[in-house]
Structure 1
Amino acid sequence: MGSLLFSTCRSCVHWLGFLLVEPVKAPILLTSDCTVPENNNAVVLICHTNADSIEWFFNGTNLGLSEKRKLSEDHRNLTIDPVEREDSGYYQCKVSNPISSAEISLLTFRCLLTNAQFSVVSTNVAEGKDVRLSLRNTPPNVTGYRWFRGESGIPHDLIAGYFILERKFVKGRLYDGRKIVDLDGSLLIRKATREDKGIYTVVAHLPNSVQRVGFGWLDVFEPVKAPILLTSDCTVPENNNAVVLICHTNADSIEWFFNGTNLGLSEKRKLSEDHRNLTIDPVEREDSGYYQCKVSNPISSAEISLLTFRCLLTNAQFSVVSTNVAEGKDVRLSLRNTPPNVTGYRWFRGESGIPHDLIAGYFILERKFVKGRLYDRRKIVDLDGSLLIRKATREDKGIYTVVAHLPNSVQRVGFGWLDVFEPVKAPILLTSDCTVPENNNAVVLICHTNADSIEWFFNGTNLGLSEKRKLSEDHRNLTIDPVEREDSGYYQCKVSNPISSAESWLLELHIQDE
């Protein structure tokens, strides 16, 4: 039997793990209603817990799953769809972790079957407008209402309440003065904000300490603004190039039109997953025409003029030369295929080209330098239209847009990317263990680095991978399993990014007989 030794034990790291576990708290069992219509509805029971291990019980025995009784992947949600009379009874969840366990009382949630489900009417509203969350199927003889954020219904999440007999308004931790519980139990929210979006829970208090619980959703949308349709160039070479049109919008629903009709997709016309980017590859003469995007959300819609972007076909594409730079160094973003007779340039961060994102500009005839919201003294627009950035930082990384102004109010738009890299530091080669038995154990070598590109070497040549020599997905970890005598030798990792490279010290692996 041999043993495994490393001559560079300063690089060796030994791991000893321990697990901190939060004690389990009594779970809270939630449902949108304990009284649901038979056959016609589904019911979801939620076991609200800080534990990972969850068991469900029905009438005191383990819950049997079926086509209609299903658990979510994390076992927190039980869905019964459809609900039938046989589903009436007592439900319970028991939770645990390696050090403790807890359960909820069997008696709290008994589902009976009637024809009315108490709930909050889910509602959409424009940001800044007033909205009322109304109730559906309110039970008779209600003595009071309490409203909560989220689905827990716990005091910590109370907004406000109103108790009718006492004529008493109560304020909770989340009360902010904009929310009012009315006599009919509805919740009025004045000047809704995006932070008001989410699930709301209402508890209706009935005589004899009976409570009914309802849930609903409020969605708060920013009013849709007219979208901005961008392209790197409206003049592109036929057959040889691709063009990307970008619909810049604050809406989620986007439709594309070509010459006034719905855009037909094909192998060469493709939309990105979010429908914001339309790629035409290759561009052909038939693609010349008028493009438009229409956007909407549940409360508003907008569109961009058909006439703004007409693509003709020539052989020059105006753009920014995408560039890499080391952090702390100066960099110049140059232009490619600059059109003739330019009268000025404006530079923007991102791809929108809107005034809010303006860095700076220079207008040649007026000899006028303009500063935008994103201007800082490190950025200068030169006479040739290039953008000089002094002492680049990681925050400078991203897309840049340049607008070239031509006579007769014509504009040309170009895009490019700046990547700012931290100079690569010499990597440190670590191992999980400095002494392991031959054949019987695995060893892991770790290349600790701030770079993304990693190469491994063994005895001065590129490391050959095999069934026993494997790299992790990010190439940082080399696993040898099992370790054999032939694995003895010198290991090294070399790392790089587009602007620098470095290599680790050699780590020598010995296998010696005991």
Structure 2
Amino acid sequence: MESPAVFVLILATISFEAAPAHTQTLLVSENPLPVGSQVTLYDKATVSTGAWIFENQFIVLIVPGQEIITNSYSNRVTLNTTANFTSLTIKSLTVEDSGMYTLQGLNSFSANAMLSVQEPVSDVTLKAKATNLVEYNDTAVLMCSVSNGTSLSYVWMNNSLAITASERIQFSDKGASLTIDKVTRYDGGPFRCNVSNAVSGGISPPVNLNISYGPSNTTLMIMPMKYTHKAGSNITLSCSTDSKPQATIKWMVDGMALDHSDSTLHLKSVTENDMGKYECIFHNAVTLRFDSANAMIKIEDPITAVVVKDKGKPAIVDKSFTMYCDATGSVGKVHWWKNGHNISSDNTTVFDMNKKTLTLNPVQVSDKGNYQCQAYNNVSSMTSDPYTLEVYYGPMKPTIMGPKYVKVGDNVTLSCNASSNPPSTYKWYFNGSMLADMSKYVTPPFTRNMSGKYTCMAFNNITGENSTVYKFLSVVDPITAVKIEAPMKHPVEGYSYYLTCNVTGPAEYVYWMKNGERLYGDDRKTMHMDNNTLKFYPVEYNDTGYYQCVATNVAWNKTSPAYKLLVYFGPKKPFIHGLGYAEKGKFAHFYCLAESLPLSYYSWWYNGSEVASTSLLVIGPLSYNMSGEYTCVAYNNVTGKNSTYSKMLTVIEAIESVMVKTDTVPIEFKDFTLICEVIGPYDKIYWMMDDMPLNHSYYYNYMYHNYTHHNYNYNYTYHNYNYTHHNYNYNYTYYNYNYNDNTTYTDMSYHTLKFTPVTKYNNGKYQCVATNRAGHHASAPYMLLVNYGPLNVTITRSDALFGLVTSLVCLADSHPECDFYWFLNNHTSPRETGSTISFPLIGNNEGNYTCKATNPVTGITMYQTKAVGHASALYTPFHGSLMLMGVFALSFTVLFN
């Protein structure tokens, strides 16, 4: 060690060094630390001249080539200075080693750190000043102490909950003491104190407080819980309270003590004498407190019988009627029911004060029904059996069912009916003389002098009332026949026509109907001769239909049979079906149709000459000089009218052939092209796949025309014409598309269909279609089958003959099918060709079998290998079987080697 003079000189040098410009923080291996441990303080800076200082006292002086340690640290300090850092290690730390440590250099460098050395906590104990306390009266004081430990902090626990300071809870002595003012029952603990510092901690054993409380929260429960109890029932009263120690109990009834000290009181087969105010009173001998609860018990006798009675008179409409509810027992209230529905009072339904009496005043027919009364008190209710109220009324004014008019010689039944309860008796009178004494009267055959007034009288033998009604009958002759007649000539559109209604018998009024609906006159249709004649000025083809005339008088009406009116018309302007363009050398078809009745005759004209005398015109084989205007003439030989229509035909050069070609082989994931070769002029080309238009990047709209011809069918006889009309049926097929996928496209003229690239999902039937104004020409189908693979090469194994022979099958997803070669253990020469190889599991047949799959078109080759080991052990319980297996093994050895 240096001499004291040198030490003082160095000290003076450091002491007068200017203060450092910046202070850094030292790195500490651990902080805080327990007593007796060691710590290393270090910095990444290299200090060649300086000092380690603790609380302004030197620990180590650092000079070039030498370290000077003060005497008090000479046995506890280790200094390390390298090119990368400077460190100081202190051993056997004490509490006095806590403080600020500084590394000071002569080059204005300074770094420091605050170190804390703490005594570990040990022997935590907890004591209570007193443990037997009374709720709300006493204060609890608990004190926590330790044998050893510094820088202590305290956490108090009541059971598992941390205790925090409040108005009632205070901490003192730096947290070591806990005071709880006016303790409650929830302050019983267990209490623990948790003492800790930065290096250790400990928890005291639990301390419990014995806190006496109550009685409180006293409750009285009555079972069953009812406002009023039925006499004869059993009642149980149970009293409970919160108390520590357990409180004693006393029972009182209306202020009188009972000789009963249990918390449960049983009352059996109670009577009204058991009614009263019941109270239980608890007393705690430690807290010297009382608490009580009480309840009122009411007891009432039940109702035993209920019946509805009347006063012996019948209930008659418009008179008063009274019923009353007769009940045995005390009745608090009564409800009345009719047909299961509650009855309330109104203008005709009146109750007395307690609803025991129900009065209907006056009685109405609707009051009939089943009546019940329901009697109530606090403990019971009972409903009477139904009382059926029969309401007597009538007779009301009768009604007579029967005709007003009858014909001579007919018998008529007259029925008289009057609403009445009980049912009325009836009498019939004619001009003052009685005819019958029943509700129905069947007359003798009518003569003209039997017209007159027929009277019915109804009588009710309970109400004593009667009522009468009369009916006048008149005898008239009937209408016997009605028929429609028409002229012999046929109705022709544009000319006048009429129908006549021929009536046999006295008709007062005639009207007409068409197709089942009433027909009225207008500016073209009028009725004459008392509506017997229907005239058309003129008749039109929409007048066709079924006509009837109806003749009526006061007693009868009769409708004629339906007459079918067919109006001849036409021909209307024809319509020509057929395309306006046709190819040279082909045939053109025109079909002419005009609405007409009867069916028109047709003729076709071209350049002033007739070329056909039917509705269908077939022209061909076509040449260019056959272009021009073709005219259809429709003629109706009944109406004498004709109508014409023309169609222009243009003959164009034909498309001779359409063919799909290709000059490449379709291999998956390579480009592929189809070529559409057309001989002859065309307008456009489009492509089809599987009979559907293939979507490309242009818009095209075309239409096929297909029609089926149905003839008009006519069947007619005199005054009966059956007309059936069949329309032409046209099927139009439209294709609209505007789409381009990512792999298929065409050139600008659509001659080529390109796949970039082609995949197996493009497989299908392809056609190209060339169009001109005359139609569409589709090529023969080209079937696209894309060559691909091999993909997903797999080897499957199967064993036979007790596992002595193995077969391997090589499979690959490919088109066309692959060529297969088998190799054993990487030999260069194939052992077998074909997808399957079989061999016995003996000799040199074990090893790795490799399948080579080659597509002869795509040229792609893939491999798959499978390891084949020893044959699995065979199990059999018989020695003879084992011998047989050996023979098989020997046989296969001979066969396969």
TM-score normalised by structure 1 residue count: 0.30
Higher Rg of the two aligned structures = 2
Question: Higher RCO, 1 or 2 (CA under 8 Å, sep at least 6)?
Answer: 1
Normalised by the size of structure 2, how large is the TM-score? 0.18
- Indicate the structure with greater strand content: 2
